[in-house]
Homo-oligomer: A and B are copies of this chain.
């Protein structure tokens, strides 16, 4: 569900690099416009508010602020996956791998078993969706716990990469507040 305020912000303050990268350090990833975050949180509540969600799950670092501000409107806790776990971390962690196409590296992620349970009906929140590595990694942790993934809320989806399409085809309800269809000659086309 398109959110005009976010598209306007991306157009005004996003920094375009080549034909596939938009840096949003100015309001989402380094400096955080918290008023905007509140509007984003309310929009996620409007979109996912009727699904009985009892936990919001994200991944460090830039997902945490968005998840916490959003969680207020749901009155539910946040759990964030930590990065840099080792494969053999023991029996008390659900763990997995996230491959980042952008950075070309694989990162171990994990969530303590105490904080994901079969009773959970979770909403996954993240800032970006491109190839979907992070979201798929979080779904993997939820699956290990037997938690239900009720939805995936994304701020900015790169529609020209395959993550969103793949997740929707897998049956997940993915709502992206801004979908970038393409970047041509320094101009962003929203989908």
Specify which of B32, B71, B82 is in contact with A79 (CB 8 Å cutoff): B32
Instruction: Answer yes or no: A160 CB below 8 A from chain B CBs.
Output: no
Specify which of B65, B78, B112 is in contact with A78 (CB 8 Å cutoff): B65
Instruction: Answer yes or no: A37 CB below 8 A from chain B CBs.
Output: yes
Interface flags for A67-78 (1: CB within 8 Å of B; 0: not) read: 111011001111
A66: min CB distance to chain B, Å = 8
Instruction: Answer yes or no: A34 CB below 8 A from chain B CBs.
Output: yes
Q: Within 8 Å CB of A75, what residues of B? A: 34-35
- Contacts A25-B112, A60-B61, A112-B25 given; indicate if A32 touches B82 (C-beta within 8 A): no
Instruction: Answer yes or no: A33 CB below 8 A from chain B CBs.
Output: yes
Instruction: Answer yes or no: A64 CB below 8 A from chain B CBs.
Output: yes
Interface flags for A104-118 (1: CB within 8 Å of B; 0: not) read: 000000011011000
Q: How far is the CA of A75 from the CA of B60 in the complex (A)?
A: 24
The interface of chain A, by Cβ under 8 A from chain B, is 25-27, 30-35, 37-38, 60-62, 64-65, 67-69, 71-72, 75-80, 82, 111-112, 114-115
Listed A/B pairs (9) with beta-carbon separation below 8 Å: A25-B115, A30-B79, A30-B112, A31-B114, A34-B68, A61-B80, A65-B68, A65-B80, A68-B68
Q: Across the A-B interface, give the 7 residue pairs with the lowest CB-CB distance, nearest first.
A: A65-B68, A60-B61, A34-B71, A32-B78, A61-B61, A31-B115, A64-B64
